[in-house]
Amino acid sequence: MSRPSPRTDLAHEALKQAILEQALEPGTKLPEDEIGAHFGMSRTLVRAVLAKLQAEGLVDARPKRTATVAQPTLAEAREVFEVRRALEIEIVRLVIKRWKPAFGAELEGMLREEEAARRRGEPKVAGRLAGEFHIRLAQLTGNRLIARYMEELVTRCSLILAVFGQPHGADAGHDEHSELVAALRAGDADAAIAIMDHHMGVVEKRALAEETPAESAALGDVLARYAGAIGARDAAVPLVAAQKRGRAK
């Protein structure tokens, strides 16, 4: 394995965000030489970045072929949601067993942040925070494997929402998140499971509701835009770096 460097982290993060926000539409070719030239990275390092994105379900990479942005089919999307729903319900079961009041305070803090982003008119940020709410819930089970799988499932679901979902439809189940935390706080396992099951049904329905066409853009332009934005953001907002560290645990 190649040693991770700030450059590969930047390339990974820029490509991931560009894919999830559909600046790079499914099927777009991702030539190693062009990405390497853009980030000043060797092909070996570019390949490592593409392999990581492939493991996250965002890129299709096959030997001797140019990697492309993954193009989930409707059948694959349904499979992802089936697995996620089953795991989310198990997560609720496990979290309620080891519940502490501090969990409630933390989750409510995340919901306030998400609501603030929505009020500021930043649906993409709100959608990302909604995904982080689910990842944090998975971490609270204390099972690291479940947390890792959920991180992957949330990323895959974000791509599916971007490809098939309604515009700005990334999660948007804020009220259900609040209801869930209330049920967890009350120690009501049946209610919490029912809310999560219903919530996953709503998210899935929204995700697979319609196909939205995307506009193509040149790979170099998109990379410049995303890498620039991430560079500026990480330099200016230490909070984001702190969140990323938290997520990486």
CB closer to Zn ion out of 61 and 208: 208
CB closer to Zn ion out of 132 and 171: 171
Nearest-approach distance from CB 126 to Zn ion, in angstroms: 11
What is the contact surface with Zn ion in residues (CB under 5 A)?
Answer: 171, 173
User: Using CB atoms, what's the residue nearest to Zn ion?
Assistant: 173
Question: Cα separation of 95 and 19, whole Å?
Answer: 32
In the three-class reduction of DSSP (H, G, I as helix; E, B as strand; rest coil), residue 56 is classed as coil
Asked if residue 126 lies in contact with residue 114, where contact means CB atoms within 8 angstroms, the answer is yes
Nearest-approach distance from CB 31 to Zn ion, in angstroms: 36
Contacts of 146-149 with CB under 8 Å at 24 or more apart are 146/87, 146/90, 146/91, 146/94, 149/87
Nearest-approach distance from CB 239 to Zn ion, in angstroms: 22
Q: Dihedral sign, CA of 36, 37, 38, 40? A: positive
CB closer to Zn ion out of 18 and 203: 203
CB closer to Zn ion out of 117 and 227: 117
Q: Measuring CA to CA, which residue among 147, 145, 137 is closest to residue 93?
A: 137
CB closer to Zn ion out of 32 and 171: 171
Q: How far is CA 120 from CA 57, 166, 178, 180, 204, in A?
A: 30, 20, 19, 24, 26
